[in-house]
Amino acid sequence: MKKLSVAVALCAALATNYASAEVRINGFASIVGGKSLDSDSTLYGYDDDISFKNESVFALQLSADLMEKLTATAQIVARGENDFDAEFEWAYVTYELSDELQISAGKMRAPFFRYSDFLDVGYAYRWVRPPQSVYGIPFSTYEGLSLLHNTQLGDWDSTVQLMYGSYDGELDAITEKTQGELNDFAGINWTLAYDWFSVRAAYLVAETSFALDGTDPSGAALNGLEAALRANSLNTLADDIAIDEDDSYFLGFGFSIDYDNFLFDAEYTQFEVENSILTEQTQYYASVGYRLDDVIVHFTYEDNDDKHDASRFDPIATVPSLNAAINGALTGVQAQSNVYTIGARYDFHPSAAFKIDFSRFEDDVTDTETDVVAVGVDLVF
């Protein structure tokens, strides 16, 4: 309730000062329902009971033109998974240094992916949700600076973004309530577009620390393993297990085609926290679609492969009991899976679209399958 009161107060303040600033209010919403088709499996937060709360979202974006090339932007988002408590997703100011260059400061979207800037705006893409093997990163915003440069390179539109900042908050990584801290979070992304083709590359680095939730079984096991290593004077190895001020990097590459009625999107990403228990992660997806008037039909394949070098922790072999424990921990954070999604989007209104997706998740580690069907209506206003 307190978060909602703050949001209402901000709207009232902007409305009060409308005479001195041009304020634009836009919004978007997604009403999504889904269920798992398997009685003993969950996927994307769905079990075998139908839920219209898990992926539904409602948001308002306020943009105030403060004149003299200065603007302020805030985005207030209420998510069903958080009982629709309203929170500030974005809050930043932007100053135009020139026609091609602008600088922003505040809380902004981290530029990991092609759809990062409108990650929550379901109306902007054809799926019920963007491919989670790639887009399922445990956080999406940062606090800091962004420098954006737009120009023409011959017939190509070029957009280059430099960013620097930090993140401090809760992550859904290893455990559901991992406390994460990223310092010296810096990166660059570059997008080139020409008519029906665009290509994008991104590279980001950070100094990363995680504090695992000790009440979670996985967190308690990893914390206990680190303590056991230190108790056996294996401090170097314990440092390799812990995620404490470790260097990390993110690499992303993708391209898209929108030619006549044919659509194609693909993105590939790598992520690693060096010298830590976390696996080196590689993911990609490829999606093809075809537009039939107001309907788009599509098929998407996703691949996720997280693994360690099998010989990485060989020095622990001198302590058999700890060797078994660390091998178990490594197995616990590994992941290898594929997802197949077939779906359709129908633009039944100039500002609304109906979607339906069927997704099959194949877990190669546990040799299990989970099917989920989801339907949704996405709106912009």
Q: How far apart are the first and last CA of the chain?
A: 24
Q: According to the model, what pLDDT value does residue 278 have?
A: 78
pTM: predicted TM-score of the whole model, two decimal places: 0.87
Q: Which two tokens stand for residue 199?
A: 């290509």
Tens of pLDDT along 127-152? 999 999 999 888 899 999 999 999 99
- 163 falls in which pLDDT band (50, 70, 90)? very high
Backbone torsion region of residue 157, taken as left when φ is above 0, otherwise alpha when ψ lies between -120 and 50, otherwise beta: beta
- 20 falls in which pLDDT band (50, 70, 90)? low
Q: What is the DSSP letter of 343?
A: E
* Cβ proximity of 363 and 43 under 8 Å: no
* Cβ proximity of 285 and 131 under 8 Å: yes
Contacts of 160 (CB under 8 A, 6+ apart): 148, 149, 188, 189, 190, 191
Q: Which two tokens stand for residue 315?
A: 């020095």
The fraction of the chain above a pLDDT of 90, given in percent, is 68
DSSP letters spanning 21-33: SEEEEEEEEEEEE
CATH level 2 (architecture), domain 2-380: Beta Barrel (2.40)
What mean pLDDT is predicted for residues 307-323? 59
The fraction of the chain above a pLDDT of 70, given in percent, is 87
Contacts of 350 (CB under 8 A, 6+ apart): none
- 216 falls in which pLDDT band (50, 70, 90)? confident
> What letter represents residue 135's amino acid?
Y
Q: According to the model, what pLDDT value does residue 172 have?
A: 75
Name which of 43-47, 165-169, 221-225, 302-306 the model is least confident about.
Answer: 221-225
Q: According to the model, what pLDDT value does residue 120 have?
A: 94
Closest-CA residue to 298 (of 357, 350, 372, 351): 357
pLDDT at 222 over 80: no
Q: What is the DSSP letter of 279?
A: P
Q: What is the DSSP letter of 367?
A: T
Closest-CA residue to 254 (of 190, 195, 201, 194): 201
Name which of 37-41, 99-103, 291-295 the model is least confident about.
Answer: 37-41
* Cβ proximity of 38 and 371 under 8 Å: yes
* Cβ proximity of 81 and 45 under 8 Å: yes
pLDDT at 110 over 90: yes
pLDDT at 226 over 60: yes
* CA–CA distance, 187 with 146 (Å, rounded to integer): 10
> What letter represents residue 73's amino acid?
T
